[in-house]
A and B are shown apart, each in its own frame.
Chain A
Amino acid sequence: MKNVTDSFLSLGHWPSAGSFGFNTDILATNPINLSVVLGVLIFFGKGVLNDLLDNRKQRILSTIRNSEELRRGAIEQLERARTRLRKVEIEADEYRMNGYSEIEREKENLINATCDTLERLENYKNETLHFEQQRAINQVRQRVFQQALQGALGTLNSCLNSELHFRTIRANIGILGAVGEITD
């Protein structure tokens, strides 16, 4: 029995077998299972991975294309804005050359017209003044004449009585008599 237990005990010592080398025991090194596992992994993983990577690539491509589009659009807009700017500048120059003289002329015309109108108005004013003056003077004269005539009339009325009448008749008879005498 001691032999048996001794043998069993010696089995308990791990064999310090071996040095470096290649283990060619198929069952221990497990290449079949490994290759199956690798095969499954590659088979399923390849599809998934390719999908992921393709998606990523497409996303990158589309992003790049989008930014190219935007860039081109922006450049076109810049070009259009630049041509508009140039056109506007040319027009501004034209205006500056022609338009200013026109403005000057218009200004002159306006000033002249205004001066004329002013003159006319001035004349009207003077005429009206004059006219009013004359009217006033005429009115005054008329009143004066009226007053004078009224005065005279009054004097006459006051003086004209039968006495004066007799005297006048007598004077006239005297004159007529004198004239008659002369012609005789």
Chain B
Amino acid sequence: MNVIPCSIKTLKGLYDISGVEVGQHFYWQIGGLQIHAQVLITSWVVIAILLGSVIIAVRNPQTIPTDGQNFFEYVLEFIRDLSKTQIGEEYGPWVPFIGTMFLFIFVSNWSGALLPWKIIQLPHGELAAPTNDINTTVALALPTSAAYFYAGLTKKGLGYFGKYIQPTPILLPINILEDFTKPLSLSFRLFGNILADELVVVVLVSLVPSVVPIPVMLLGLFTSGIQALIFATLAAAYIGESMEGHH
């Protein structure tokens, strides 16, 4: 009978190493709402990183840019180029939106993968990338949906709804369905990628802590960067698609 408590203790010890708490969130109570505080905290950190680095880099703008200024100018050029490719000529007003999407998602993904969040221990749940929560990604996808609606309506007025019967009226239900699947796919794609990568790394770390997770972590960096780019590109593509069409 002593065997069973021993096995229980070792099992408890195993649980201490492999503490994968999925679905366990750290809740704050604001008014009548429960919010996921761990997502808020990591989001704040991401925002602080973004704003801080930009403020530091753009302090003393020179004509011949120095390192930080050069880097941020390069990022801005990249985002502008991306918007211009997808949206076309009137890409100017949309660069801040696309840039925000891209930078926030990119920095949050990479912060989740690179920063040692697990050092800070919360009562429930754990800190990780803010985009591993479906609420975050939906919160990113819904404004994108609203954005392309807004773009189409301001450019074409109520004639925007004529696009639902392009090219043939038979495709009307599919076009309407598309308006729902676009934000759905955006949010789930990002959420699934980031959460899955994070889970894989955590599981691998819990199994073989030292060297084996490294390739997966590198792959995770790569795919999370790609996901940020995909989100931004798709957002720009939807906006461009709803603004085009003065044939």
Partners in one complex: yes
From 26 to 42 in chain B, residues with beta carbon under 8 angstroms from any chain A beta carbon are none
Q: Number of contacting residues on B, CB 8 A? A: 40
Describe B's contact surface by its main secondary structure: helix
* CB–CB B67/A11 < 8 A: no
Report the minimal beta-carbon distance from B201 to chain A, rounded to whole angstroms: 8
* Cα separation A61 to B11 with both chains bound (whole Å): 65
Contact A60 B121, CB 8 Å, known A29-B116, A38-B114:
no
Question: Which chain B residues border A53 with CB–CB below 8 Å?
Answer: 67, 70-71, 74
* CB within 8 Å: A-B pair count: 96
Report the minimal beta-carbon distance from B226 to chain A, rounded to whole angstroms: 15
* CB–CB A22/B4 < 8 A: no
* CB–CB A14/B21 < 8 A: yes
* Cα separation A3 to B5 with both chains bound (whole Å): 10
* CB–CB A64/B118 < 8 A: no
* Cα separation A3 to B210 with both chains bound (whole Å): 37
Q: Return the CB mask of A17-55 against B: 1 if under 8 Å, else 0.
A: 011111111011111111011101100000001001100
Describe A's contact surface by its main secondary structure: helix
Question: Which chain B residues border A30 with CB–CB below 8 Å?
Answer: 116, 118, 205, 209, 213
* CB–CB B218/A11 < 8 A: no
Which stretch in B12-20, B164-172, B235-243 binds the other chain? B12-20
* Cα separation A41 to B214 with both chains bound (whole Å): 11
* CB–CB A57/B64 < 8 A: yes
* CB–CB B218/A37 < 8 A: yes
* Cα separation A4 to B67 with both chains bound (whole Å): 64
* CB–CB B70/A29 < 8 A: no
Q: Is B24 an interface residue (CB 8 A)?
A: yes
* Cα separation A21 to B120 with both chains bound (whole Å): 6
Question: Which chain B residues border A32 with CB–CB below 8 Å?
Answer: 209-210
* CB–CB B118/A23 < 8 A: yes
Q: Is A98 an interface residue (CB 8 A)?
A: no
- Residue among A32, A53, A60 with the most chain B CB within 10 A? A53
* CB–CB B71/A49 < 8 A: yes
Report the minimal beta-carbon distance from B15 to chain A, rounded to whole angstroms: 7
Question: Which chain B residues border A157 with CB–CB below 8 Å?
Answer: none
Q: Is B92 an interface residue (CB 8 A)?
A: no
Of chain B, the residue at the smallest CB distance from A29 is: B118
Q: Is B122 an interface residue (CB 8 A)?
A: yes
Report the minimal beta-carbon distance from B206 to chain A, rounded to whole angstroms: 8
Contact A27 B205, CB 8 Å, known A22-B121, A37-B221:
yes
* CB–CB B114/A29 < 8 A: no
Question: Which chain A residues border B15 with CB–CB below 8 Å?
Answer: 11
Q: Is B8 an interface residue (CB 8 A)?
A: yes
Contact of A23 among B119, B124, B217 (CB under 8 A): B119
Contact A11 B11, CB 8 Å, known A23-B121, A49-B71, A53-B71:
yes
Report the minimal beta-carbon distance from B138 to chain A, rounded to whole angstroms: 26
* CB–CB A37/B119 < 8 A: no
* CB–CB A27/B209 < 8 A: yes
Q: Which residues of B contact A (CB under 8 A)?
A: 4-5, 8, 11-12, 15-17, 19, 21, 24, 63-65, 67, 70-71, 73-74, 77, 113-114, 116, 118-124, 205-206, 209-211, 213-214, 217-218, 221
A31-B116, A33-B211 known; 11 other A-B pairs, CB under 8 Å? A14-B21, A22-B119, A23-B120, A25-B16, A27-B209, A28-B206, A33-B209, A37-B114, A41-B221, A52-B74, A57-B64
Q: Return the 10 tightest CB-CB contacts between A and B, nearest first.
A: A29-B118, A23-B121, A27-B209, A37-B217, A53-B70, A21-B121, A29-B119, A30-B205, A7-B8, A33-B213
22 intermolecular pairs with C-beta atoms under 8 Å apart: A7-B4, A7-B8, A11-B12, A18-B123, A23-B119, A24-B119, A25-B16, A27-B17, A27-B209, A29-B116, A29-B119, A30-B205, A33-B213, A34-B116, A36-B214, A37-B221, A40-B218, A41-B221, A53-B67, A57-B70, A61-B64, A64-B63
